[in-house]
Structure 1
Amino acid sequence: MRSVFGSPMRGIAFKVASVCVFLAMQTFIKLAGSDIQPGQVTFCRSFFALFPIMVYLAYRGQLRSSFYTANPIGHLKRGTLGIISMGLGFYGLLHLPLPEAIALGYATPLVAVVLAAFFLGETVRIYRWTAVLVGLVGVAIISWPKLTLFREGGVQSDQAIGAVTVLLASVLGGMAMIQVRKLVEEEKTSTIVLYFSITASVFSLATLPFGWDLLDLWPQLHLIAAGFCGGVAQILLTESYRHAEVSTIAPFEYTSIVLGAIIAYVVFGDIPTGSMLLGTAIVVAAGIFIIYREHRIQLERRASGRSAP
């Protein structure tokens, strides 16, 4: 059976680019302040993402056609999963140090590998299953110190809740990744990105009655910038699924670790803890092993002249 994907290397390149831009988005959200309501953050991220998306589509002459969809229910499912995951993740981002928030988010590609095997029928061999389990051990090491803070009060409890929300966001994010992979089989990248931002904007606007904050100029500008970054990153991320399997590109989420740690230290003064460094090293090692196995398998297939199973 011949692979239906374009170029795995191109998919990886799109993935890495999306990670970098998403990291810029996270930085702007952190700069906006920790007291902002997650629903308000989610709305700004989704609504202002529409501007670069529509400008890009208009430039390519695809804006009108992008509104056509043959699978509105699929977009609704993707939007629902994505907006809940986004809101939970932003709560954690606002209440956790940036390195911990990034590291806990690494559970998403591990979950995606598992879900890709069960729901997409992608071949995941024993080596990758082992790597996923080892990676989850690393996630547990990162999260455990935060979860023990439930015994405390105040800021400590906020960080504990933040850790839980990021982990829940990772599970839902993995499910959203699978839904995107299904959508790209019949929908254009531009349509997927456009409908997600529209759906997310409408859903998050529903949180307005629960108390949004009247923000000063700089927090507003930070959230607007986060939205623009989110739009660009979403285009790159969705395009990556068109060129490679989820289980192939998911481990490249770990490319954010070095840049994220530098930004966290320089901008916020966050210093990674020992448990965070240990857990992250385990998770990244698991991801690197998955990448290594994929490379070896591709070499073996080319050498034997066989196509992907």
Structure 2
Amino acid sequence: MAKAFISYSHRDERALERLHTHLATMTREGTISTWYDREILAGGEIDHEIASSFAKSDLFLALVSPDFLASRYCYEQEMKSALERHADGTMRVVPVILEPCDWRSTPLGKLKAIPKDGRAISTWTNENVAYLDVVTELRRITAEQQTSKSEEPLPKIQGERARAETRTYRIKKKFDSIDRDDFRRESFAKIQQFFHASVDELNQVSELIRARFEKINELAFTCTALNKANNREANITLRADTELFASNIAFSFSRRAAPGTANGFVHIDADDYELYLRLDDFSRGQAQGDKAATAEEVADALWRKFTSNAGIDHE
């Protein structure tokens, strides 16, 4: 489990609450735990408890805003100490940009910030999409940290075996049909969440654009996008509810596509160590080889294709 220390200005408490709301799933599943100064109970020694929690954390989330940069405590104490630990590899500093501000001129400007491209959350047409991007990146970070910990070399053994070299070990696994089906369902749920949030964002872009998300059942949904500027309509349906393609997720560029029809698949594949997704889009004329992808990467690729069919492009 990643232990995250959250540094923020008290003027940004609303953003802190929204972040915790979006982190609820990660917290519930034990992927991440968070600490911030409101965890200090009455009578606690503030500086001591902050220092203690800071020392136990391996992730530093800086909720960056004009108020954060103006705060001596956040900027000159917490952030400075975190960057020192970041430099020696004992803590990872992640800037979460809440409001437009001059953060790129600070030491944080050298780091990759979230949401995407360091675009301030307050400037997104739908803040939920921005927070989803934050959570998606934090999932990648925590997964990488867990992998790094599991691959740490074993300590050298002293005495007669001191000559043995330290090695990195990876444990091979076999994934049965239940493992694959669980992974398929989890991936579908993430893709569905991505599309639902993205449709909400698209509806805020322009009065010339309308979009709709329709849930068909627990394992199927369809989306429609109308572009009145060029009179184009696009549709997409994703299904993980058909026995014919039981080991895959099928997608079709039509509204409420019937089970058993597809313009491509999201394959569930595995190597000797982990399960992953592979996008096979028939419209491109060929499969994308064995390129491993996450649910978020697959969702982004299909969303871009879907909106492009309606003449809507985005960065």
- More strand per residue: 2
**Is TM (by shorter chain) over 0.5?**
no
Work out which of the two has the higher radius of gyration on C-alpha atoms and give 1 or 2.
Answer: 2
Superposition TM-score, scaled by structure 1 size: 0.28
As a proportion of its length, which structure holds more helix?
A: 1
Ranked by relative contact order (alpha carbons within 8 Å, sequence separation 6 or more), the top structure is 1
